[in-house]
Structure 1
Amino acid sequence: MPPLDLHVAVFGASGAGKTVLLAAFYRAQTQPSFQQEYAYKIQAVNKAQGNRLLGRFYRLEEGKFPDGSTRFDEIEFDFFPRDLPDPAVRIHWYDYPGRWWEEEPVDADEREAMREGLLRLGMSQVGILLADGAKYRSEGTAYIRWLFEHFADECDRLRRTSAAAGEEVSFPREWILALSKADLFPAEYSARDFEREVCRDADDQLAKLCAVLRAEHAFGHRFMLLSSVAAPPDAQVDPRTSLGVRTLAPAVLVSTVEGAVREAQASRKEKSAKETFFQGLRDLMQFVDSVDDFLPKRYQIVSKILRFVSIKDFASTRVDRLKRAREDAIRKGDTFKAVLTGMVAALRDDEGLRAYHQNQ
């Protein structure tokens, strides 16, 4: 069976830390210690891309931060369970350069690259908007308000210009708001704290952004802290200081399932207004064999996910139970259950609880 495909679109202004994040994301999850703890590892599908990411990270260890990306990149990562030969999940990472949201294309080639890159939005189950932690720390909520206003205006502009050219842009309906450079904040600061501040002080801007994206629950629901590396002055980067990097892929997985549940609930006119996510998931499980008939194409992989991960796995808060299920799957050679259950468990460990928060 081929791997399950998850598509994630990553956005952030120039300097927000997307390039460093990608290098840290890859390096952290290729290490034997990660595979031992989380029971899976990743490989870049394209070896040359993997080598470039490792090269960036090793230069980071020398204190040499890479220049930000100026072009659209698509990078694919395969997730392998420990001791099993076949990948279970393939994540397609679409990296949109910050300058696309700040400047006009410099020539016809970049305009065409932008057009082709933005068409990938329609394939993405989840979008990640990366807020610059350094700017947020120095400028406060005014920076977050600006970020939401700016991103909403550019998305609106993109939708209008694309429609005029006969190419309607489709944005992801599920989003994660991630705060980069989280090592600049106190050790006790969590994604829940970030959520409280944003929802309290930028609610109008959140509402505007959701309206532009035509997705009522797009923002204000999922929050992350991400620190690719800690970089104190005149000190080498320590790869053990990252935060949230290991939680990122699991958050994308769970967000994809939640998106499918919302689509399924919306399609049922008899749905109760008080129906919870897990009630919706339970209903979705009952129709798992025919779920592809009414879910948009980008969510059709959920029918496969729910064949390997039970509702109890998604609902459980017990890491030990999830880890036992993961190890049992590895012993049985169940590639998909091993990786998917391991990802859900990663959201429930100490790092996951600090780095990821959803308020619904």
Structure 2
Amino acid sequence: MAKYPRVREQNIAVFGEAGSGKTVLVSSFYGPTQEGSYVNDLWDLVARQTGQGHRLYQNFLGMRDNATVPIQTRFDNTTYEFSVKLKAGDEPEGKKRPFDELRLAWHDYPGEWFTDDPSSLEERDRRTDTFISLLRSDVALLLVDGQKLLDYAGEEERYLKSLLGNFRQNLLRLKDDLLAENGPLVEFPRIWILALSKADLIPDWDVSTFRDLVILKASEDLERLRSAIAELIETPEALSIGEDFILLSSAKFELKPGGQDPVEIDVRQRVGLDLILPIASLLPLERRVLWEQRMAIPRKVVDSLADGADVIAAALTGAKFVNVEKLLNKFIKADKRAEFVAKALPMLAAAVAMAGPKLREINEEARAHNDYLRAMLTQFKLDLDQGVSDKVIRTQK
């Protein structure tokens, strides 16, 4: 068995009603990385299923070359699997990097299941099984459709209450099945980001405008959703809902001059999609540190919360790989949580604290030495910081 873990997989679950743009988002996430003109000096994005990759790239080319939007999928639960393959090369002085490949599983939950009742017991079971498959994710995106906000301008609460209420009801319908075997769930998405899809339709909004609208118009509905999720999980204190927001746009959609149809689609003008990999990779690590600093989290919850955080932290800081999970098990078994907080948690906190000129300096140094893993992760962190500065993303601190 290899001494170091070689592959690190992150999972992200995407929820949105039918027509909210989920297929367009994933196509625009993947498509630009396949163009002949695309250049990335650190890594390549590869679809792990060839046919799936071809379909996504075909969707993207249809938007780019023919101004056609992908056909809306109905009742399809799909997991898109990607590999972020690092360029060849190792750290100087023969040090072995903690892992060589980052994988992303993008779970797409069918939008129709928000609003339509199951037509049979078989379909109900399929919905439950699909939802269970999402539970590996630390991060979930709940899409708020920008077009719907425009349609309900001045009375946005009608749409937001319906969206959040339908999702809450969907969870309540699944509750008994989800809790039937072992009671409150240990593994469950703990970070729920509200994402404004089709953000290009409201170009004068930044992420604070979006957040303020949601809180003004639907704060009680958001709290009811949070309470419904809290009833499903163990240690509900380790849960973020209504604290993280992002703007997402797959492209800029415009009507051609002098007509209503077809639509001109500028795929070069994307918003937020370059933050998906940084969010999936680093946000769970940051949130785990925050929660462990604030509360005593039970061991079995910690084991499922941002698992692999030690590997990410080691790669990000360039420190010698230390198995934080082993330290955690050792200290908790010996009833020495305080010792864990003193000795192991700082390893994770140091990675989270990297910022500013020092972070940029580390990134440049990693690039210069062909330390592709550290360069990629520090670039992810720089991208997140830039997203905050550009008011595209707002996260809990």
The one-letter amino acid of 2:174's match is L
RMSD over aligned CA atoms reads: 2.9
In structure 2, the residue matched to 1:158 is 174
Quick one: structure 1 residues 114 and 350, their matched pair in 2 at CA, closer, same or farther if it must change by over 3 Å?
Answer: closer
Percentage identity across aligned positions? 26
Q: Is the 8 A contact 1:130 1:178 kept in 2?
A: yes
In structure 2, the residue matched to 1:281 is none
Of 265, 276, 280, which residue of structure 2 is paired with 1:237? 265
Q: CA deviation at 1:334?
A: 2.9
* Deviation sequence 1:139-190 (CA, Å, 0-9, x none): 123322221122112112211244358897653111111000000113x421
1:98 paired to 2:111: yes
In structure 1, the residue matched to 2:127 is 114
* Deviation sequence 1:252-278 (CA, Å, 0-9, x none): 223211332245236539xxxxxxxxx
Length, aligned pairs only: 336
Higher mean displacement: 133-142 or 177-186: 133-142
Q: Distance in 2 between matches of 1:294 and 1:46?
A: 32
In structure 2, the residue matched to 1:123 is 136
Q: Distance in 2 between matches of 1:108 and 1:43?
A: 37
In structure 2, the residue matched to 1:345 is 382
Of 350, 357, 360, which residue of structure 1 is paired with 2:394? 357
Q: Is the 8 A contact 1:11 1:128 kept in 2?
A: yes
The one-letter amino acid of 1:296's match is D
Structure 2: runs of 5 or more not aligned? 91-98, 231-235, 256-261, 318-348
Structure showing greater Rg:
2
Of 310, 314, 332, which residue of structure 2 is paired with 1:307? 314
In structure 2, the residue matched to 1:78 is 83
In structure 1, the residue matched to 2:249 is 227
Q: Is the 8 A contact 1:78 1:87 kept in 2?
A: no
In structure 2, the residue matched to 1:248 is 276
- Trace 1:188-267 onto structure 2 (pairs within 5 A): 188-214=204-230, 215-216=236-237, 217-233=239-255, 234-265=262-293, 267=295
Q: Is the 8 A contact 2:7 2:101 kept in 1?
A: yes
Q: Is the 8 A contact 2:31 2:61 kept in 1?
A: no
Q: Distance in 2 between matches of 1:332 and 1:196?
A: 44
Q: Distance in 2 between matches of 1:136 and 1:295?
A: 38
Quick one: structure 1 residues 147 and 83, their matched pair in 2 at CA, closer, same or farther if it must change by over 3 Å?
Answer: same
1:43 paired to 2:46: yes
Q: Distance in 2 between matches of 1:296 and 1:263?
A: 13
Higher mean displacement: 138-147 or 237-246: 138-147
TM-score by length of 1: 0.82
Q: CA deviation at 1:352?
A: 6.6
Q: Distance in 1 between matches of 2:116 and 2:183?
A: 21
* Deviation sequence 1:83-105 (CA, Å, 0-9, x none): 65985311111111111222233
In structure 2, the residue matched to 1:276 is none
Q: CA deviation at 1:13?
A: 0.4
Q: Is the 8 A contact 1:6 1:90 kept in 2?
A: yes
In structure 2, the residue matched to 1:55 is 58
In structure 2, the residue matched to 1:279 is none
Q: Is the 8 A contact 2:286 2:352 kept in 1?
A: no
TM-score by length of 2: 0.75
The one-letter amino acid of 1:45's match is R
Q: CA deviation at 1:247?
A: 1.3
Q: Is the 8 A contact 1:40 1:79 kept in 2?
A: yes
In structure 2, the residue matched to 1:145 is 161
In structure 2, the residue matched to 1:172 is 189
Quick one: structure 1 residues 9 and 341, their matched pair in 2 at CA, closer, same or farther if it must change by over 3 Å?
Answer: same
The one-letter amino acid of 1:96's match is Y
Q: Distance in 2 between matches of 1:166 and 1:80?
A: 37
In structure 1, the residue matched to 2:25 is 21
Quick one: structure 1 residues 357 and 296, their matched pair in 2 at CA, closer, same or farther if it must change by over 3 Å?
Answer: same
The one-letter amino acid of 2:362's match is A
Give 3-state SS (helix, strand or coil) of 1:347's partner.
helix
Q: Is the 8 A contact 1:251 1:356 kept in 2?
A: no
Give 3-state SS (helix, strand or coil) of 2:242's partner.
coil
Q: Is the 8 A contact 2:63 2:265 kept in 1?
A: yes
Give 3-state SS (helix, strand or coil) of 2:189's partner.
coil
Quick one: structure 1 residues 84 and 181, their matched pair in 2 at CA, closer, same or farther if it must change by over 3 Å?
Answer: farther
Give 3-state SS (helix, strand or coil) of 2:20's partner.
coil
Q: Distance in 2 between matches of 1:158 and 1:293?
A: 23
